[in-house]
Amino acid sequence: MKQRQPPPSPHAAATRAVALIISLIKRPTAKSERYRRWVDIGWQPIPFKGSSQQPEQRRFLLKLSVHRRAGAEVDAWADTGECGSVSAVFRPCMEVALGITFDPSDLPGCLHSVVAVLHQTVRHEIEHLMDEGFLALPGPSRRPRRGTTDQEQWQRSVRLSHWYGLRRRLFSGGFGTLRKWDRKERAITESARSGKCIDYMVSAREMHAFTMGFQAEAKYRRVTWDVPMLEYTESMVNAERMTQQESDAVRTMLVRWAVAVIPSARISEQTVARYL
């Protein structure tokens, strides 16, 4: 009997993707081109109840763009979505478009910073992959839902619903009814879409991804969870994308979220005293 492989841990998947990106960056022929690479993380979907379909191998496509620029600081950005116009062989799949910038004259000295920022960025995107789309994990409750035709879609949206529930418990602060809280959540999502940095970082879809991304970077750098979190929010203030006051509000929410979802995360005493 063919043994079913367990899904890779998000940590293993991220480490593999980061190693692949670094091997591409180090290649002597790799100048400032745009790479397009399949990263097969061997994702075996967890079976869901109520479907006769065989779980197929699902993948994510990593589209990497490397920007080497004199004087550039190490920086990375990414976005996740369902694959658009790709060969049917690779469907269904999810796509992570990831860009990295650095100054080539800083190599190999800047590699440590490149790997650190990649750990944060890749893990952040993997959290999005686990929340929504073809690779999303079923949430803890996988009971078929009566009256719902697309059982898979419903079961794969449970993880995200779980975050919504946790947000209400942590942040509504006795803030009235479910309807009022929903309205507040919708306003945050709307404002995040229009590009307001504070609302983007604490929105229902982003906050968990940011928290886990900071933890991945912190583990790689062997620092406490709050070090990359404080640096990131400070960089947003320096870039005038949020005020100091907004940054304090974001930090408070992120620290509360980290304590709730990663009990093992190490957080410095100063940060706990100041923001929790």
Q: Which is nearer to Zn ion, 48 or 200 (CB)?
A: 200
Task: Give the nearer residue to Zn ion in terms of CB position, either 11 or 142.
Answer: 11
Contact 162, 168 (CB under 8 A): no
- Tell the smallest beta-carbon distance from residue 77 to Zn ion (Å): 10
- 16-24, 208-216, 221-229, 239-247 -> range binding Zn ion (CB under 5 A): 208-216
Q: Which two tokens stand for residue 181?
A: 């809280």
Q: Is 209 in the site for Zn ion (CB under 5 A)?
A: yes
Which region, judged by CB under 5 A, interacts with Zn ion, from 48-56, 189-197, 203-211, 234-242?
203-211
The nearest distance, CB 202 to Zn ion, in angstroms, is 12
The one segment of 46-54, 56-64, 141-149, 199-207 that binds Zn ion by CB under 5 A: 199-207
Q: Which residues contact 8 (CB under 8 A, 6 or more apart)?
A: 16, 41, 42, 43
Our CB check for Zn ion shows the closer of 128 and 156 to be: 128
Angstrom distances, CA of residue 135 to CA of 13, 43, 183 = 13, 8, 29
* Shortest distance (Å) from residue 130 CB to Zn ion: 12
Report the C-alpha gap between 166 and 171 in whole angstroms. 8
Q: Which stretch binds Zn ion (CB under 5 A): 2-10, 132-140, 205-213, 221-229?
A: 205-213
CB of 95: closest distance to Zn ion in angstroms? 14
Q: How far is CA 35 from CA 4, 73, 113, 115, 245, in A?
A: 32, 20, 21, 17, 40
In the complex with Zn ion, the residue whose CB is nearer, 206 or 217, is: 206
Integer Cα distance of 7 and 199 in angstroms: 32
b/e sequence 81-96, b meaning 16+ C-beta within 10 Å = eebeeeeeebeebbbb
Peptide bond into 108 cis (omega under 30): yes
Query: Using CA atoms, how far apart are residues 120 and 111, in angstroms rounded to an integer?
Result: 14
Torsion of CA 140, 144, 145, 151, to 10 degrees: 100
Enter the DSSP assignment of 89.
Answer: G
Residue closer to Zn ion by CB (options 93, 204) is 204
Q: How far apart are CA 95 and CA 81, in angstroms?
A: 5
Span interacting with Zn ion, options 4-12, 60-68, 148-156, 206-214, rule CB under 5 A: 206-214
- Which is nearer to Zn ion, 132 or 248 (by Cβ)? 132
Size, binding site for Zn ion by CB under 5 A: 2
Minimum CB separation of residue 158 from Zn ion in Å reads 19
Which listed range, 69-77, 112-120, 204-212, 246-254, lies at the site for Zn ion (CB under 5 A)?
204-212
Report the nearest approach of Zn ion to the CB of residue 178 (Å). Answer: 26
Q: Which residue's CB is nearer to Zn ion, number 145 or number 241?
A: 241
> Is 268 in contact with 226 (CB distance < 8 Å)?
yes
Q: Which is nearer to Zn ion, 199 or 206 (CB)?
A: 206
Residues 32-51, interacting with Zn ion (CB under 5 A): none
User: Which residues contact Zn ion by CB under 5 A?
Assistant: 206, 209
